[in-house]
């Protein structure tokens, strides 16, 4: 498994851990908007800390040797573009219910959590598809 694949896998794990815990907490009704805001900011800070720890663990374990005089492998570039495209498609296809949620009279807290969930899922699709493309050797 390449270094980029390991970092992408660590990103998927980090997103699942931090935002999985956040959404489990946020699922219960009765949270106020300031409370949600505080927890969203806290989750973002926690995600940064978790990602630094995971990326450091991968970097310490992995010796990155740039072959061929420092040129980037074209497959890495292609896989990154494909996976970014997949994340974009996921974002576009998942965000379309947001206007209907607003028109249905949902609370701003619900809309904020819906938007955050869509962004997290799109990033998980992005990095998850990167792992799949790298493992397939596409």
Compute mean pLDDT per 10 residues along the chain, 138 residues long, and list them. Answer: 84 93 90 88 94 86 54 78 94 89 85 91 94 85
Instruction: Please give the residue range of the domain that contains residue 8.
Output: 3-136
CA distance linking residue 72 with residue 81, whole number of Å: 14
Cα torsion angle, 76, 77, 81, 87, sign: positive
Looking at residue 93, what is its pLDDT?
92
User: For 84-121, how does the pLDDT look when each residue is reduced to its tens digit (9 = 90+)?
Assistant: 999 999 999 999 888 888 889 888 888 888 999 999 99
The total of other beta-carbon atoms located within 10 Å of residue 124's CB is 18
CA distance linking residue 71 with residue 66, whole number of Å: 7
Contact 79, 134 (CB under 8 A): yes
CA distance linking residue 20 with residue 88, whole number of Å: 21
- Per the structure, the count of domains in the chain is 1
């Amino acid at each position: 498994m390449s270094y980029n694949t390991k970092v992408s896998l660590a990103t998927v794990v980090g997103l699942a851990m931090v935002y999985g815990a956040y959404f489990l907490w946020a699922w219960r009704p009765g949270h106020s908007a300031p409370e949600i805001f505080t927890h969203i900011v806290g989750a973002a800070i926690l995600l940064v800390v978790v990602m630094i720890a995971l990326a450091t663990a991968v970097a310490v374990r992995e010796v990155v040797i740039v072959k061929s005089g420092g040129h980037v492998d074209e497959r890495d570039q292609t896989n990154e573009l494909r996976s970014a495209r997949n994340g974009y498609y996921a974002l576009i296809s998942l965000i379309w219910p947001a206007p209907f949620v607003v028109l249905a009279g949902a609370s701003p807290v619900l809309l904020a959590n819906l938007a955050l969930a869509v962004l997290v899922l799109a990033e998980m699709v992005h990095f998850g598809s990167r792992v799949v493309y790298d493992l397939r050797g596409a």
